[in-house]
Amino acid sequence: MSKPNPVLLIHGIFDTTAVFEHMSGYLTERGWEVHSLNLVPNFGTVGLEELAHRVADYIAKTFETEQSIDLIGFSMGGIVTRYYLQRLGGIKRVERYISISAPNHGTLMAYTLPFPGVVQMRPNSELLQDLNGDEAKLLSRINFTVMWTPWDLMIIPPSSSRMSVGKEVKLPVLVHKWMLSDKKSKETVARVLAEPVKQVF
């Protein structure tokens, strides 16, 4: 078996890399090289495009140009990583992408704060309309999986995490952040990261 791709984990709003403690440890024990970075600021005071550029910069500095990677975005990190994939050329080097409990179609919780990055996570925001305009065309080119829980109280409605493309995994997880520590969730991530990559011609 060939060496698996490095995995980059991108956290959500108000989070740091510490939120991935369980997920990172689980994957590392099973042979993956796991990376993550702190998005600063992490509370929505800058646009998500700016955070996506920081992800792009980190990838450019950390990995060799020819190195393919696998990418996981949690919550707000799911939108940041989608911008990287769909608007910054990330689709060309990411082979597997997992979106975990991301507000892909917005969340009503985003009406609680007026910050630019939070406003962009409101339903029908300009940014989400832009990304959702070509999601099928672009994201169908890679191994793409959406994970979500119907009991999510941060992504409202929880079905906002669902996408029109990719594989979908719905898990009965009670708390938003538990999607990163739940046993079945970690097993799902490991299984997806081990799947053969589709060939796009």
What the chain holds in terms of domains, given with CATH numbers, is 7-194 (3.40.50.1820)
pTM over 0.95? The answer is yes
**Angle (nearest 5°) at CA 77 between 5 and 172:** 90
Pairing mode, strands 94-100 and 69-74: parallel
pLDDT tens column, 85-129: 999 999 999 999 999 999 999 999 999 999 999 999 999 999 999
Q: How confident is the model at residue 70 (pLDDT cuts 50, 70, 90)?
A: very high
In angstroms, what CA-CA distances link 148 with 50, 82, 138, 140, 189? Answer: 25, 16, 21, 19, 12
Q: Which pLDDT score, from 0 to 100, does residue 200 have?
A: 58
Percent of the chain with pLDDT over 90: 97
pLDDT tens column, 16-65: 999 999 999 999 999 999 999 999 999 999 999 999 999 999 999 999 99
Q: Which pLDDT score, from 0 to 100, does residue 57 have?
A: 98
Phi, psi of 23 (to 5 degrees): -65, -45
Q: Of 13-27, 66-80, 187-201, where does mean pLDDT reach its minimum?
A: 187-201
Q: Which pLDDT score, from 0 to 100, does residue 201 have?
A: 43
For residues 56 and 62, give the distance between their C-alpha atoms in angstroms, rounded to a whole number: 10
Structure-block tokens of residue 193: 């990261």
Average pLDDT, the chain: 96
Torsion angle, CA of 25/29/33/39, rounded to 10 degrees? 0
Q: Which pLDDT score, from 0 to 100, does residue 1 have?
A: 53
Q: At what angle do helices 48-62 and 76-87 cross, to 10 degrees?
A: 70
